Structure formats: structure tokens, C-alpha cells
């Protein structure tokens, strides 16, 4: 697997984890962009929006367009993936918490 594929898997997991801790499990793409940057994942706003669309296709979250932003809401399935209770190909599996 190449760097870009590894990066996408990590970025997708980071987005799910951020949403899992957000109030109402919902955040806009600008906040998600800032949050993943603080986690050390340097992604463009376009990359974040692209991954939000991919995650929505996998039914891990829902998206609603709000002008230039996308508002993402975590689904129950997305919560299970973020917590490591289920696996989705293309999303990095979280490390066990100790």
C-alpha cells in the first residue's frame, strides 16, 4: 500500500473519531479540517470534503451541504468503526486503548 492510501485510511479514522467526540456527533468541514490538522494530519479542505463524501458512501456518516461547508453527522455504524467495534475496509482500525 502506498503513502496516499495509508494517509486516507488515517484521515478517515481521524474524522470519525473527532465526530464521535463532538456535540451531537456533528461538525462542519471547516472544524474537521482544523481538528485533523491538530492531530498531525496535514490535509487540504478539499481532501477533508472528499473523505466526508467517501465516508457517507460507506454509511459511516451523513452529509448536508451548507454553502461552502459540509455538515457531517456520525451514524451508529460510524460510531462503531470509530470505537473499533467493527471494521470497514479503507478506514484505519483504531489502536486498543490501554
Rounded mean pLDDT, 17-36: 97
Q: Does domain 26-87 have CATH number 1.10.3720.10?
A: no
C-alpha 49/C-alpha 46 separation (Å) is 5
Query: What are the boundaries of each domain within the chain?
Result: 26-87
Q: Mention every residue, 6+ apart, whose C-beta is less than 8 A from residue 30.
A: 45, 69
Give per-residue pLDDT as tens, 10-25: 999 999 999 999 999 9
Query: For the segment 41-89, what is each residue's pLDDT rounded down to a tens digit?
Result: 999 999 999 999 999 999 999 999 999 999 999 999 999 999 999 999 9
Question: Does the pTM of the predicted model rise above 0.85?
Answer: yes
pLDDT band at 98 (very low <50, low <70, confident <90, very high): very low
Query: What is the DSSP-derived secondary structure letter of residue 43?
Result: -
Amino acid at each position: 500500500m502506498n503513502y496516499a492510501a495509508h494517509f486516507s485510511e488515517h484521515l478517515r479514522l481521524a474524522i470519525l473519531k473527532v465526530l464521535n467526540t463532538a456535540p451531537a456527533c456533528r461538525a462542519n468541514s471547516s472544524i474537521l479540517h482544523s481538528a485533523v490538522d491538530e492531530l498531525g494530519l496535514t490535509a487540504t479542505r478539499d481532501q477533508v470534503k472528499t473523505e466526508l463524501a467517501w465516508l457517507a458512501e460507506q454509511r459511516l456518516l451523513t452529509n448536508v451541504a451548507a454553502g461552502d461547508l459540509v455538515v457531517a453527522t456520525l451514524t451508529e455504524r460510524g460510531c462503531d468503526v470509530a470505537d473499533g467495534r467493527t471494521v470497514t475496509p479503507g478506514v484505519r482500525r483504531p489502536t486498543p486503548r490501554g
